[in-house]
Structures are given as C-alpha cells and as structure tokens.
Amino acid sequence: MAEFTLGELSKQLKAELVGDKSIKIIGVAPIEKAISGQITFIANPKYKAYMESTKASAIIIDHKIGLEPPLPYLKVTDAYYGFLQTFLLFNPQKKLLKLGIDQSAQVDSSSKIGENVSIGANVYIGEDVRIGTQTQIFPNCVILDDAEIGENCILYPSVTIRENCKIGNRVILQNGVVIGSDGFGYATHEGRYHKIPQIGRVIIEDDVEIGANTVIDRATMGETIIKSGVKLDNLIQIAHNVLIDENTVIAAQTGISGSTTIGKNTIIAGQVGTVGHISIGDRVQIGAQSGVSKNIPSGQIYFGYPARPIMKTKRIEAILNNLPDLIKKIKVLEKKIASLEKRATSD
C-alpha cells in the first residue's frame, strides 16, 4: 500500500505546507468520512464546519477560500483538483495498453512511429503517418495517409483520423471521435447537388481534448483549426473552415457552422447552434440551446433563441411569463375607456 509524508505530498501537488512535513499519510477520503492517517479536502466553504470535527490527519484547502484549519494543511489553487491528484497517487490508474505495436495492428512501413508508443489491436495506420513519442492509440482506431500526431496523445477506441490532418501534443481524443471528414459543400446545378471536393485538412494544436463521437470536418480548402487548450465535449459538430481559438470550451451537442470563427477563452454551453461565416469574440459566454445568427463582440454574455444579450433575453422572458396578466390588464383598460366614452357621449 502506498504511503507518503505530508512533505512529499506538498511537493507533488506544488502546495504550500503548514504543519509537520514528516506526518505519514496512507490514504484519502471525504472530510466527514476521513480517519486518522488520511488526508481530506475542502473546496467549498459550506463544508467549513467539518474542519473542526474531521478525524483526518491533514487537509487540502483552496488559497481563495481563506480558511485556517486547526490541523496540518496543504494550500493549493484548486482543492478539488488537488484532492483528485492525491487520490491518483494512492490509487494509480492501471495502464490499459501495452507498450509497442500489437501484432494485429497494421502500420505502413513508410510511417514514422516515435519511441514508447502504444498501438493497440486492429489499429490501421496508412502511409507516411508520423506519430510522436509516448502516444497511445487504442484498439480499432484508423489513421489515414499523411496524418501527423504529436507526443503524449491518447486516442481512445474507434477514433478515426483522415488523410493529412495534424494533431499536436498532449491531445486526448475520446472514443469514436472523427477528425477530417468531408465538409458539407455542394454546388447546385439544375436542381441537383454536386459535391465540392473537400481538399483542405484539420489542424488540432496542443493540449486539446475532444469528446466522444464529436466530428470535426476538414476544410474545403485550407484548414479547420482548433487552437491549443480548447476543450470540446461529446457529440459536437464543427463544420469546415471553422477556427476555434485558444482555451475555448464548448459543451455537448453544440454545432458550429462553416467558416465561423470563435475567439479565445470563450465558453459555449450545450446544444448551441451558430450560423456560418460569423465571428464570436474572446471571453464570450453563450447559454445553452442558444441560436446565434450574428457576430458577438468580445466579453459579451448571450442567451436565447435567437441569442440576445442575456439581460434582454431575461427581461423578455419575465414579460412572457406575465403575458396572461398583461392581456387581462388591457381588457380592463378597454372597459374603462368604453365607459369613459359612453359618459363623454352622454354628457
């Protein structure tokens, strides 16, 4: 069983230690269940009361909460994250893939595979593919010709990456992700649709994570670009020639139409849709199920169908809730006016 001193833990978590660094910790537990020898955490001030009564030997707390626990503690930026890191130290995750290339995998001899790569069963890797060191590719993934994948990436089962696409370092692709499918483009001629060849590609930069069964189409020409630090949830649609800038986060089932650009550090909730060829700024927030049909400037909070500045949508919603009362009010006014008119006529 794993055992760490508080001093060792503070180094691992890059935490400030207050208390005896030689205290031995043999496990982690939630604050109300922890026993002597375990470390616990407080990420939310509402659990403050437990701080006095916990039997834990130490506690991980948030800098920003500003508590002074009556037991040894580690101060970190995010106590919940620190707790999970500690949990992993005591419960290391099982390595799911063996190092090396599974004998059932098919890797073209022209491809360059880095050191310490794991390639699972039934993986197909085409011609002139490059794969960086330490990358793990789970069973039944397919990577077509001339694709490039960086270092320390994880491709979970059944990910498919089409020809020419480029994936950076430390990218995580959850099960069933599709990178580089053809964009949806047709020229119409006499009532029929003729496919416009989609000859561009997809570029995914470093530290991106993409959720299960999400699809990112290749560009018609040029590139569909997902910049570094972007996080996409499950079942998202990213159309051809979209650009999503750094550290933007998008929740499940949202769809971004062709050639739209999204700025940095923007947050888009689930099931949002945007039209094509618009520009959404930096630090924008868009509420769930919104329908965005126009540019949104940086820093704005939008919500609704159609998407409007959130205060405007909320005001309209409040009025809608009171519409039945408004109708009654107007009926009262009509009666009063009729009565006033009658009176005026009879004068």
Question: Catalytic residue positions?
Answer: 240
Span interacting with a second copy, options 19-27, 44-52, 111-119, 306-314, rule CB under 8 A: 306-314
For residue 306, cis peptide bond before it (omega within 30 degrees of 0): yes
CB nearer a second copy, residue 49 or residue 320: 320
CB nearer a second copy, residue 57 or residue 253: 253
Span interacting with a second copy, options 16-24, 44-52, 53-61, 173-181, rule CB under 8 A: 173-181
Is residue 142 close enough to count as binding a second copy by CB under 8 A? yes
Closest to 216 (Cα-Cα) out of 305, 230, 296, 288: 230
Q: How far apart are CA 282 and CA 304, in angstroms?
A: 19
- Among the listed residues 243, 251, 262, 286, the single contact to a second copy using CB under 8 A: 251
- Among the listed residues 52, 68, 94, 109, the single contact to a second copy using CB under 8 A: 94
Q: Provide the 10 A C-beta neighbour count for residue 130.
A: 14
Q: How far apart are CA 249 and CA 230, in angstroms?
A: 6
Both tokens of residue 32?
A: 């109300």
CB nearer a second copy, residue 11 or residue 336: 336
Segment 253 to 272, residues that bind a second copy, using CB under 8 A: 253, 255, 257, 265, 270-271
Interaction mask 192-211, a second copy, x per CB under 8 A: xxxxxx-x-------x-x-x
Interaction mask 22-61, a second copy, x per CB under 8 A: ----------------------------------------
Is residue 126 close enough to count as binding a second copy by CB under 8 A? yes
Is residue 343 close enough to count as binding a second copy by CB under 8 A? yes
Both tokens of residue 259?
A: 């050639």
CB nearer a second copy, residue 160 or residue 259: 160
- Among the listed residues 48, 71, 78, 285, the single contact to a second copy using CB under 8 A: 78
Q: What SS3 class is residue 328?
A: helix
Closest to 276 (Cα-Cα) out of 217, 330, 325: 217
CB of 20 to a second copy, least distance (A): 27
Q: How far apart are CA 150 and CA 167, in angstroms?
A: 6
Q: How far apart are CA 236 and CA 145, in angstroms?
A: 25
List b or e across 109-127, with b for residues whose CB sees 16 or more CB atoms inside 10 angstroms: eebebeeebbbbeebebbe
CB nearer a second copy, residue 21 or residue 231: 231
Q: Given phi > 0 = left and psi -120 to 50 = alpha, else beta, which region is 116?
A: left
Is residue 156 close enough to count as binding a second copy by CB under 8 A? yes
Is residue 227 close enough to count as binding a second copy by CB under 8 A? no
